Structure 1
Amino acid sequence: MTHDDFKVKVLGRAEVKSKLTPSSLSDGTAFGFIENDDRVLINTTLSNYKQDVETSKTPISFEIAGPHEYLYFNPSNTKVAIVTCGGLCPGVNNVIQSVVNQLYYRYKVKQIVGIRYGYEGFIAKYNHQEVELTPQSVDKIHFFGGTVLGTSRGDQDIVQIVDRLSKLNINILFCIGGDGTLRGAHAIHQEIHRRNLNISVAGIPKTIDNDINFIDKSFGFETAFTIANDIIRYAHNEAIGAYNGIAIVKLMGRNSGFIAAHAALSVHEVNLVLIPEMAFDMDGSNGFLNVLQRRLENRHHALIVVAEGAGQHFFDSATLEKDASGNIKNKDIGLFLKEKITEEFEAKGFPFVLKYIDPSYIIRSAPANANDSKFCGLLAQNAVHAAMAGKTDFVVGHWNSNFTLLPIPISVSKRKEIDVEGELWWNVIETTGQPASMKKQ
């Protein structure tokens, strides 16, 4: 990675004076307009700083998000479209509402439309008509989970999408979605650039798994592990209510186990956490089944939290399928564990009672909690600030307590994952008491 990889594109010179007034103070001590060279370091450790000084390197950094004194788009004749794609996630409606309110009340942009059912809403054959969005039409939507615009998965024809944007006279497109949505947004930007159109493409990261690169937290994640907290506590009641009671709770986390890890840290009752980033065996003296049996022999109950993408190495890769977005459809690791535990313990005559709980669709369709709702609003506000200033092909993020802007390509260059040699996973091991390794010995 180089410093240039983190430069956000702009459509052109911003010459329209903003009517926003971030601060009435002029002495530079209060919050004000953001300059393009205001940046936040990615690595803030003293050792990294010293290394950069010694090698005369420019530290890699993000552009800080915020309002700009001059805008690229004139609010009076700017038209905006909003689209939501991919799976459901707490907070999508909050983002829609906040984008609309920020545009309408702060920038006086009156032309805002919602695209129905994801990127396919741009394609004529689906016959999904766009809807007008006003503060009145989005007034109560933050009380509900899901997305009022609807969503879909899968690739759509980029040429047709840009044709529709051009026909609708759209100046700014806000794409709310995860990794696949952002890749699509970048492809839309490339086609816009090829045609030399003045359309800004802004990404607002939506992933319940919290797995977007260079963004320390995505909206919906906190709500997800907060709801999981309650479910895990109830599952613990099930486990301790029977002799050698076992409760398995499967949580979302296709490639990254952040929900499982944070939920376990929030409930100090979990005994085993399994995530996609860790390798483990079923058999062997230190394998999962023996670790579980020793736990039951000592305490006579066990609570297991497993991320959906964990243990996929136990399945035949030749039988794996993909969804419409190209993501591998994971086999059900929760049912697999249930079957293996049952098979092992029944063969040994080891008494047990097992309950399996999968609350995934309940969690992802819930409304955002208070902190996530606040976070959604701030992400939306900063995305609007950047887009009105002519920034494009960017995603709004959060890093080191700052809202940031980063180019979409760098944000989708790889998925963020838990470092099993890092502090977060060490905290999980300390909290659960599980072995650092469940590999055969």
Structure 2
Amino acid sequence: MSAGNLLVIQGGGPTPVFNTSLVSIVEEGLKQSRIGKILGARSGMKGLSSGDIVNLTSSAHADLASIANSPGAALGSSRFKPTDEDLERCVQHLKDLEIRYLIFMGGNGTMRGAQAFGQFCDNAHFEVQIIGVPKTIDNDIAATDRCPGFGSAARFVAQSTLDLSMDLRSLPQPVSIFETLGRDVGWLAASATLARRRPDDAPQLVYIPEIPFSTSAFLADLDAVVSRLGCALVVVSEGIVDAGGTPVFEQIIASRTGTPNRPLIGGVAQYLSGVVAEQLGIRCRSEKPGLIGRSSMAHVSEQDRSDGAIVGREGVRALMAGATNKMVTLLPLSAQAANACDLVQLSTPASFSRRIPDHWLIKGADTVTQDFVEYVRPIVGQLSHYNSFL
């Protein structure tokens, strides 16, 4: 493809290293002679549809360094679902701006959108190269070993579990239920197990969407832990479901300003704390950090920061190599000496979400195997463990 301009689109929920990838794209793009301007669409596809475009080429180096170490999405993000009319306007803006290269940064939904837009461009006989750059705190993108954003959010969960357990032991509060993000998968909640060094360490109980939740089993397990230890720290994913696939808790009234067909979830920890108090007569608190878990720069994982930069850089290089309709993937850390990244068809991450594999699951209080812990430990990085109580 001939020389042209590059446009970057950020989509979906932000992460602590979302902007690390963005800046890496800009820095690598500035090195490529076939790339003219580097542009960004504000608020994702919504911005491209409306023509709300910012020139990233002129960003000062100092500004880029600051942006790279900022949470959120510097360009703004959205879960905008464009109509055909919106897509027609998008194509026209690409033509007007002489865009020849497109990078979509996001999760499964963004990759589905990138694939669909690529098909729309083909049908419109508009030639453009499209590359996907993965990001999500959920770690549920298929075909990549890990997702930039997950390591930092998982480090927040694991460290917060450790810290909360120290508070719990200091002034014994019988039960605390800590709720993590995770609509469909339990990678984040299960990462709390990194806090354990001894069998009775917190979290004593962990519940994730991959394993059906039973209220009666939960109450029996919790009662046993409290009887034995005097207190318990429980970690639950916001998306846990029962054996029939029904959410354990969901809000009665979905947010009217939210994304269509994507009701606002969360609150299962508070709900379960009420169940515990009523059924077991035990004092129980609930903790719901919510979006703080994906915006805390104090908990950024160094591996995660590195991964964010790698996928951004490799996305640009893939475009320059002539690739299109592909997504950059990270290879397992053990294989990085040979090659850190690979490319897969956009249809792969667009088709399904990756759950924790069955061979890493244990039905019961332990939840995940040691193999899961060994997988996630280098991604999360070092935690601050504390000395025993006097």
Range into which the TM-score falls when normalised by the shorter chain: 0.7 to 0.9
Give the 3-state SS of the residue equivalent to 2:140 in structure 1. Answer: coil
Deviation at 1:107, TM superposition (A): 4.6
- One of 351, 356, 359 as aligned partner of 1:418: 356
Query: Could you state the TM-score of these two structures normalised by the residue count of structure 2?
Result: 0.82
Deviation at 1:99, TM superposition (A): 0.4
Letter of the structure 2 residue corresponding to residue 83 of structure 1 = I
The answer for the alignment partner of 1:202 in structure 2 is 131
The answer for the alignment partner of 1:13 in structure 2 is none
CA change 1:239–1:213 in 2 (3 A) is: same
- One of 100, 123, 132 as aligned partner of 2:56: 132
Matched residues in 1 for 2:362 and 2:44: separation?
Answer: 35
For residues 368-410 of structure 1, the C-alpha deviation after alignment (integer angstroms, 9 at most, x for no partner) is 4322111111111211111122211111112343411111112
Matched residues in 1 for 2:40 and 2:131: separation?
Answer: 14
- The alignment yields a C-alpha RMSD, in angstroms, of 2.4
Whether 1:154 aligns to 2:89 is: no
**Structure 1: segments with no counterpart, 5+ residues:** 1-71, 347-351, 432-441
C-alpha contact 1:242 1:353 (8 A) present in aligned 2: no
Whether 1:282 aligns to 2:212 is: no
For residues 284-329 of structure 1, the C-alpha deviation after alignment (integer angstroms, 9 at most, x for no partner) is xxx1011101110011110111111113625588958584164353
The answer for the alignment partner of 2:226 in structure 1 is 296
The answer for the alignment partner of 2:315 in structure 1 is 383
Deviation at 1:355, TM superposition (A): 2.4
C-alpha contact 1:104 1:135 (8 A) present in aligned 2: no
- One of 291, 297, 322 as aligned partner of 1:361: 291
C-alpha contact 2:159 2:195 (8 A) present in aligned 1: no
Q: Paired residues, what number?
A: 346
Give the 3-state SS of the residue equivalent to 2:133 in structure 1. Answer: strand
The answer for the alignment partner of 1:101 in structure 2 is 27
C-alpha contact 1:98 1:380 (8 A) present in aligned 2: yes
Letter of the structure 2 residue corresponding to residue 250 of structure 1 = E
Identical aligned pairs, as a percentage?
25
Give the 3-state SS of the residue equivalent to 1:391 in structure 2. Answer: coil
Pairing 1:163-202 to 2, within 5 Å after superposition: 163-202=92-131
Letter of the structure 1 residue corresponding to residue 268 of structure 2 = I
Letter of the structure 1 residue corresponding to residue 290 of structure 2 = S
C-alpha contact 1:320 1:330 (8 A) present in aligned 2: no
C-alpha contact 2:179 2:288 (8 A) present in aligned 1: yes
Matched residues in 1 for 2:369 and 2:306: separation?
Answer: 31
Deviation at 1:105, TM superposition (A): 2.4
C-alpha contact 2:37 2:55 (8 A) present in aligned 1: no
For residues 256-305 of structure 1, the C-alpha deviation after alignment (integer angstroms, 9 at most, x for no partner) is 1011112323444211111011112112xxx1011101110011110111
CA change 1:395–1:173 in 2 (3 A) is: same
Matched residues in 1 for 2:54 and 2:265: separation?
Answer: 34
Deviation at 1:84, TM superposition (A): 0.7
Matched residues in 1 for 2:44 and 2:195: separation?
Answer: 34
Matched residues in 1 for 2:331 and 2:271: separation?
Answer: 37
Greater CA radius of gyration, 1 or 2?
Answer: 1
Deviation at 1:192, TM superposition (A): 1.0
C-alpha contact 1:100 1:135 (8 A) present in aligned 2: no
- One of 244, 267, 292 as aligned partner of 1:332: 267
Q: Using the TM superposition, name which of 322-331 and 187-196 deviates more.
A: 322-331
The answer for the alignment partner of 1:50 in structure 2 is none
Whether 1:232 aligns to 2:161 is: yes
Matched residues in 2 for 1:296 and 1:105: separation?
Answer: 59
CA change 1:266–1:316 in 2 (3 A) is: closer
Query: Could you state the TM-score of these two structures normalised by the residue count of structure 1?
Result: 0.73
The answer for the alignment partner of 1:270 in structure 2 is 203
Matched residues in 2 for 1:325 and 1:99: separation?
Answer: 31
Matched residues in 1 for 2:69 and 2:355: separation?
Answer: 31
